[in-house]
Structure 1
């Protein structure tokens, strides 16, 4: 039934980018990826899920900014059964890297040219409605092969998928298409990270009702999946045959009330170097717009990282960093390539000293959640925001 039951061939082992590792000491700023933490998270999640449920590692958006190839390789090496991405290009990148596990494309694709590429790279698409299914069928008929497909039901997300009440007619049409083979039926929660379970429970009931209707019509789905990270951690009845794990893979919790469920370790750290240290006299403005005025003579460290690297400008005068084992405040407007820190509390600070913006050092910790809380956003957005001019340095 498509690639979900077996691999194409033996996967390759995780590899560090040695070139970037050698350059680490010469970078002004970088992102560290803790592969031991990732391995720990995958193993902890596998143990939590038990033997009956497969783990699908969601590595779309360059693995939430962590580096899709290395993350996928490490996740698979530690027990992930399959992978998910959002776009055709993301899937091709993984295949070109030698990754052979089943890969589900979560986004909707309608172009015959793209459908041919999906087949050529042995990827597995999401089919959202009957019209899309017919385009896939006509294209695959010309190709001359069959393709495993995953049918998505809309149970209340109001995004991709066929309305759950039309599940039977949707499935029956796809069953009649000789070049499409149904690999799974799935849906997606809209509020699984909220403590109020009302909407989540409603969606789950709708999903169960749809599956019951399918079984009554004589169709037994080969695989069912519904849970994202939040649902997987909060409700075991949502596990079904596999769960789609995104944020938890990277060591962050989808909601505060889930922190005690499982031990996760953050995978990503953001670091930069001090490029200059100077003393600014009292009454002087710091950075563009003079949004910070020194109240007294102030020792300022200039750090080589800015909003072009993914440090949100709206964190200006609200950001903190760890320097020499102390928590210090960012001052003035964050600029494109640089930001400034008040380092009055550090006597002998010098250019070249490393600043931790996200991560743990000397028992102090700053997380993507901390930034998200300040900005009234979500940690997903923070992780995905670090630009590629920051090299990813894989550490074990």
Structure 2
């Protein structure tokens, strides 16, 4: 790709292919691969990512909210789409657009049963989530009989899968907790399957679960962050390729004399004569104010430049005193070498938060 001439998010679809194939190589032949493309495919572009993965023959997709699934259907995605966090107000849309809801509480279960019956549905595919320790969404493990009775009393729905979510699968210090979650899920799955009289797909593994707990792959796995190039460990990060590179340019260079101030609230004062560069990206684009005042950094011509002063809505200023550069030169906020994980760690955050914060106003450029 040519060097950036404006602020862009460059998305490498070849890297996506690599990540998909690498993670898929960890699975048994019959284990299904569910690609998580919520939050604009982790800040990249849900439509383009999903189209590419559909061409790679991924088995199904997951989104957080109904409107995300609708956008994929509008774009021509035909594979099954699981809506992980549906709301009652969207259940009719879910049926109209052939999406598959996660039924995680009695409230949402009974609401969907009512609407499915009104729409004269038969064996509409749904997914049932059980809480095994994350304590976020899901039926309690003791609800198996009551949930199964509601399902057995209707022909409107059929359970496509039962699943749970691991709380700390990336943390070796929490291995015992994760193993306990897996055992709880096995018991739930066994009892639930017995109650409803058929076997839905079972899934509990996220990216770290796939990599660290192969014994828990079951019938299907859900992969999100791994597809986008992060394995939640130094070892696994080496096997994956970050697909997104956030790039910009130097708009203007300034020379600050000792004692001069920079930016809003005059939060930076030059202690000596320095050179600064202004870059067209700011907190409206996902580079939060917490990265300012010497905390965060960018890379220019192979050297790190600290962000100084307060981050503005549309701009940041960086110290380039010891960097040979010119106006118009490319600036790397993050890429496959200077990763989003590196930058996010400067504010004690994680790659997920930074990459999903990249504004939709930033132009997406695809490398195929």
Conserved 8 A contact 2:88-2:111: yes
Q: 1:102, 1:218 → 2: CA distance?
A: 22
Q: Specify the alignment match of 1:219 in structure 2.
A: 197
Q: 1:381, 1:310 → 2: CA distance?
A: 9
Q: Specify the alignment match of 1:176 in structure 2.
A: 153
Q: 1:70, 1:141 → 2: CA distance?
A: 35
Conserved 8 A contact 2:63-2:81: yes
Q: 1:26, 1:215 → 2: CA distance?
A: 57
Change (3 A) 1:213 1:92: same
Q: Specify the alignment match of 1:47 in structure 2.
A: 25
Q: 2:232, 2:113 → 1: CA distance?
A: 38
Conserved 8 A contact 2:4-2:330: no
* Residue 297 of structure 2 corresponds to residue 346 of structure 1: no
Deviations 1:279-330 (A, max 9, x none): 1112222222333322322111111111111112111112222212222222
Q: Specify the alignment match of 2:229 in structure 1.
A: 251
* Residue 248 of structure 2 corresponds to residue 276 of structure 1: no
Q: 2:305, 2:88 → 1: CA distance?
A: 51
Conserved 8 A contact 1:33-1:267: yes
SS in 2 for 1:117: helix
SS in 1 for 2:24: helix
Q: Specify the alignment match of 2:283 in structure 1.
A: 307
From 352, 359, 362, the counterpart of 1:390: 362
Q: Specify the alignment match of 2:143 in structure 1.
A: 166
Q: Specify the alignment match of 2:129 in structure 1.
A: 152
From 340, 348, 361, the counterpart of 1:376: 348
Q: 1:32, 1:25 → 2: CA distance?
A: 9
Conserved 8 A contact 1:64-1:383: yes
Conserved 8 A contact 1:43-1:79: no
Deviation for aligned residue 1:230: 1.0
Q: RMSD of aligned C-alpha atoms?
A: 2.0
Deviation for aligned residue 1:217: 4.0
Q: 1:64, 1:102 → 2: CA distance?
A: 19
SS in 2 for 1:162: coil
Q: Specify the alignment match of 2:72 in structure 1.
A: 94
SS in 1 for 2:149: helix
Deviation for aligned residue 1:79: 3.6
Q: Specify the alignment match of 1:143 in structure 2.
A: 119
Conserved 8 A contact 1:152-1:185: yes
TM-score, normalising length from structure 2?
0.94
SS in 1 for 2:85: strand
Conserved 8 A contact 2:5-2:328: no
Q: Specify the alignment match of 1:8 in structure 2.
A: none
Deviation for aligned residue 1:130: 3.2
Deviations 1:115-155 (A, max 9, x none): 22111111101111334222212212221123111111111
Q: 2:57, 2:213 → 1: CA distance?
A: 21
Deviation for aligned residue 1:53: 1.0
| Aligned residues between the structures | 365
Stretches of structure 2 that go unaligned for 5 or more consecutive residues are: none
Change (3 A) 1:133 1:292: same
* Residue 95 of structure 2 corresponds to residue 123 of structure 1: no
Change (3 A) 1:218 1:273: closer
Conserved 8 A contact 1:183-1:223: yes
From 229, 246, 263, the counterpart of 1:287: 263
